[in-house]
Each structure stands twice: as C-alpha cells, then as structure tokens.
Structure 1
Amino acid sequence: MKLNGKDYRRLLAPLTEELVGMSRWARTTGARIVVLFEGRDTAGKGGAIRAVRDKLNPRQCRTVALGKPTDDERGQWYFQRYVQHLPTDGEIALFDRSWYNRAGVEWVMGFTPEHQVQRFLDQVPTFEKLLTDDGILLFKYWLTTDQDRQEERLKERLEDPLKRWKLSPIDLAAREKYDAYTEARERMLEKTHTPHAPWTLVDFNDQKRGRLTLIRHLLDHLPDMHVAPPEIEFPDLGREPMAERYGVLKPIESYPIGD
C-alpha cells in the first residue's frame, strides 16, 4: 500500500532533523559528502534530492545537474567537468545524474561509441578510489522502478501542464528501450559495484517510501555525527517593539488576488 502524505511527513520529520545534524557535523569536521542519484526517467531522483536538501543551507548543500556537454567539454577527459563540482571541506554535493550517464543513456541511445563506454567502465572504479582515498564520503543510489510505474508517470507528465517540461524526446525514446536500459544497468553494476564505492538499489515504485529508505540508509552509513548545536544568546532588546512605538504599519496599496 502506498504511503499517504500525512504519514510520509510524520516519518520524514525526524529524518530531516538528522539531516540538519549531518550538515552541522560536516561543517564542523570538514567532511566532504557526495551522493549520486541515478535511475530511469521518472524514477524520482528530483524528489529524493529535494527531500534531502529541503532544510539544509543551500550554500553548503548543492545540487549538481549538468546539461549536455559543450564542444569544449566533449574534448576533455570525460570526468573533468564533474571534478569541478566536487565538494570542498564541509560541503555536500547531490548529483542529479552523474558521470554514470556514459554507461546509461549515452550508451543506450548511441551517443557514445562502445570503446569509450568500455574505457569509462574500466576507469570509473579507479576514479572513485581516488575520491574515497582522499576522504570523500561517496554514496551511489540507483532508484528502481517497474516499467508500468514508469509508464504511469510519463503519462502524468504529458497530462500535467506543470510537469510537461520534464517530458523530453529522450524520455519518449526510452519507452521503447526499457530492456536495453536494464542491460546497461546490469553491466554498469557488475563493473562498478566495488568495496570502496558500492551501489545501493532502492525501490522507488512508491516514491515516498523510497525517499525515507534512501535517507535512512544515508544517515546510517555515515560516521558518528553528533555535534551539539552552538549556544546562541538572544538578549532582550530592552525597548518597546516597533509597532507599539510607531503604530501598526499599513500597506500603501492592496492588490486583490481573488474574490
């Protein structure tokens, strides 16, 4: 049974408090956290990222969602444009898709030749070992969803004018390539699921349950994060509130929004 909104918010609230504690711990200790969100179109990557970052300082917790590479970027070492978005001390980087585009959409849609995909699969374990050896805490999540749920969500995007912008030609083409994407995922997991950078698959057929599961896993696999919040003095101003001294300020002009 799908989780309703009320229960979801009740279960999310304590996790959100722990996420705030995570950000305080990262800022205090200088920890660098990288979380990759991968999955099929409509799996729920954006919603999961919003659930993680909602109450965090956006200057500390950044979402990285790169578009198509430029001509200059296409001529670079493949990982180069991702490296510049890695976090510095005390930061958290949430990748809405990542370098794994090469093993997924680029390969399935024929954007990248086979020999370059194979080179990527050979190089990525070493690349990620360099990151983790340098102290980056790397988490890789694959959000799983069944084909019938994907179809339902694609139709919702088509019918909802507020979501239609999410429906790209690549999304439509992917409907015919469900099996090819499965093959690409299995190949990727076989080559890149390593002890230093393992994959975690999370069921996102129910996106609310999926978000809760992912956040709980993330929090449970970080070191002891207890850092007491700083004491903040909040002295009395020692004077009357402005409204009592000057009267209640009234708007110069009111603008009716509706009846």
Structure 2
Amino acid sequence: MGKKRTDGTPRLPKKVYESELFRLQTELVELQEWVRTTGARVVVVFEGRDAAGKGGAIKRISEYLSPRVCRVAALPAPTDRERGQWYYQRYVAHLPAPGEIVLFDRSWYNRAGVEKVMGFCTPEEHTRFLRQTPIFEQMLIDDGIILRKYWFSVSNDEQLRRFRARRDDPVRQWKLSPMDLESVYRWEEYSRAKDEMMVHTDTSASPWFIVESDHKRHARLNMIAHLLSTIDYEPTKRPEVKLPKKPVVSGNYHRPPRSLSKFVPDHVAALLGDTEH
C-alpha cells in the first residue's frame, strides 16, 4: 500500500481493487434481487466529460447482473422525428418498469452539455431545459422511481492522456470521435456549461454526486459503494437449489453421429500447435 502515483496519491494495489470490486458486485446482485422482488424502479444517470470513466463504471456495475433486470440506455443522436418531440420523450421510453434498473450512459443532460456548447439547441431550448429538468425529475421521484445522478470529473491533463491512449489502441480507436476532440479545444466552454447546469439541477430532491475520476479504480469503487449506501435495500431469501450427485440419464437416448453436425473449426488447436515449435 506504500506505492504512490506520479501525482503523489497512494496507488491502490490490483489485488485490493479486485477483491473490493468483487465484494461490491456481490452487493449489487443483492440489490438486483431486492429490486426484482419488491418491484422497485431504479434509474442511475452517468454524466461527465468524454473519457471520464463513465463506461468503465457502468461495465463493472452490470457485469454480473441479469440483463432482464439491469439494462444500459445509451441513446444515439436523435433522429429528425425525435428532434420535433417533447425533449424528454425519447428518454421516458427507456425508464424502468417495476423490478428494473436502468443505467443511463449519458441522459437528458446532453442538452446541458454537448448541445449547449456545440450549438445543437437554441438558447431558448437550453433555458427551458434548465427550468423544466428539476420539475421532470421531481415527477419521476414522486412516482416512486429511485433516481441517482453521478458526474464523473476528470482533469484536462488526464482526459488528454486517455485520448492519446485511445488513439494508439486498435481496439479502442472507435471511442475517439471528432466530438471528443472538440471537448479538448472547448474545455472552458464545457466547464461553464457544467457549472450552469449544476446551479439549476443540483436540488435537494435530486442532487448531483461528483465522482473524482482521474484514477479509474478509485472512481469505480467510490461510485459503486456510494450507490449501494444510498438505497435502503435488504437481502432477499432465495429458494434453495438442489442438484443431483450425477447427471440423470435413462439410457434410452443416443446422440446423433458427429458427421451429421457442422462443428466450429478448432482454432485453438492451431494455436497450441504454434506454441510447440
């Protein structure tokens, strides 16, 4: 635990991180079962700058949860039809039914950030959004939805480092878009937009929780632990599952000949063959 990062902060050992992450993920399964059993509805909003670590946190939360209970809503750019709808309409369509958890990988707060900075909405639309959003969220809460909002905060130096890492990684290059580059050049504009958003939408009923995310492992553990601490869930009793000591077969079944089936070629055998030379 004595090692430090280049910025002087303590470095969390990988084994400690993985152990605590798994413990928290086990608790998330308990939360899932409580949601399923009680019919609770949970919405978690993930916002923040590009490359701030939202996707990594969402991945760790949903990793062991049932896709029938927990789903991720990551909406693409609105269509022409959606642009003419009530702004919140396409997000309402993804709200949870009883017994569901929805993780919004970006949400209606697009209007407060990218749409505001890039000019994708009018000043009047932006002003209306800031006025209506606390009312909209109060309606969700009044209807019984458990709403949590997290803002992942990353420094400009760390964001740029992550962008460079994406640029040089063949499996993550797709995550670096022209819009991401704009966020580097418009850092101050995004900062002002975020500050204005917080003033209007950080309410007592629906507060923003800031996740410092320069260190991804710290951010994931801190965010998940906080989410679990804010929901008053209880362990649910599950039916005991009994398995036979060995497979139950009657002896009357015989598999068809292998020649009648089309098998996937053994790619691994070729790899093993290569390692023997």
Same fold (TM over 0.5): yes
1:119/1:238 Cα in 2 relative to 1: closer, same or farther (>3 Å)? closer
- What runs of 5+ residues in structure 1 fail to find an aligned partner? none
For 2:159, the equivalent position in structure 1 comes to 150
Does the CA-based 8 Å contact 1:37-1:94 persist in structure 2? yes
| 44-53 vs 233-242, greater mean Cα deviation | 233-242
Does the CA-based 8 Å contact 1:38-1:98 persist in structure 2? yes
Counterpart CA distance in 1 for 2:38 and 2:219 is 29
For 1:23, the equivalent position in structure 2 comes to 32
For 1:124, the equivalent position in structure 2 comes to 133
For 1:189, the equivalent position in structure 2 comes to 198
Deviation at 1:254, TM superposition (A): 3.7
- What runs of 5+ residues in structure 2 fail to find an aligned partner? 1-9
Question: Is 1:80 the counterpart of 2:89 in the alignment?
Answer: yes
Q: 2:87 is matched by which residue type in structure 1? A: Y
- Which aligned segments of 4 or more residues in structure 1 are displaced greater than 6 angstroms? none
Identical pairs, percent: 47
Question: Is 1:170 the counterpart of 2:191 in the alignment?
Answer: no
For 1:213, the equivalent position in structure 2 comes to 222
Q: 2:72 is matched by which residue type in structure 1? A: T
For 2:52, the equivalent position in structure 1 comes to 43
Q: 1:101 is matched by which residue type in structure 2? A: N
1:232/1:42 Cα in 2 relative to 1: closer, same or farther (>3 Å)? same
Counterpart CA distance in 2 for 1:87 and 1:108 is 30
| 59-68 vs 4-13, greater mean Cα deviation | 4-13
For 2:3, the equivalent position in structure 1 comes to none
- State the secondary structure of the residue aligned to 2:210: strand
1:238/1:76 Cα in 2 relative to 1: closer, same or farther (>3 Å)? closer
For 2:76, the equivalent position in structure 1 comes to 67
Give TM-score scaled by structure 1 length: 0.93
For residues 67-98 of structure 1, the C-alpha deviation after alignment (integer angstroms, 9 at most, x for no partner) is 11001000000000000000000000000000
- The one of 140, 143, 151 aligned to 2:149: 140
For 2:209, the equivalent position in structure 1 comes to 200
Equivalent residues in 2 for 1:94-133, closer than 5 Å? 94-133=103-142
For residues 150-189 of structure 1, the C-alpha deviation after alignment (integer angstroms, 9 at most, x for no partner) is 0100000111111110111100111111111111111101
For residues 172-229 of structure 1, the C-alpha deviation after alignment (integer angstroms, 9 at most, x for no partner) is 1111111111111111011001111110001111011100000000000001322122
Does the CA-based 8 Å contact 1:3-1:206 persist in structure 2? no
Q: 2:229 is matched by which residue type in structure 1? A: D
**How many residues matched?**
255
Question: Is 1:90 the counterpart of 2:99 in the alignment?
Answer: yes
Q: 1:55 is matched by which residue type in structure 2? A: Y
- State the secondary structure of the residue aligned to 1:205: coil
Counterpart CA distance in 2 for 1:74 and 1:40 is 23
Counterpart CA distance in 2 for 1:2 and 1:66 is 35
1:143/1:254 Cα in 2 relative to 1: closer, same or farther (>3 Å)? closer
- What RMSD over aligned residues (CA atoms) do the two structures have, in Å? 2.1
- State the secondary structure of the residue aligned to 2:223: helix
Deviation at 1:4, TM superposition (A): 3.9
Deviation at 1:241, TM superposition (A): 10
Q: 1:152 is matched by which residue type in structure 2? A: R
Does the CA-based 8 Å contact 1:16-1:55 persist in structure 2? yes
Q: 2:77 is matched by which residue type in structure 1? A: K
For 2:4, the equivalent position in structure 1 comes to none
Deviation at 1:237, TM superposition (A): 5.6
For residues 124-165 of structure 1, the C-alpha deviation after alignment (integer angstroms, 9 at most, x for no partner) is 000000000000000000001101000100000111111110
Does the CA-based 8 Å contact 1:2-1:206 persist in structure 2? no
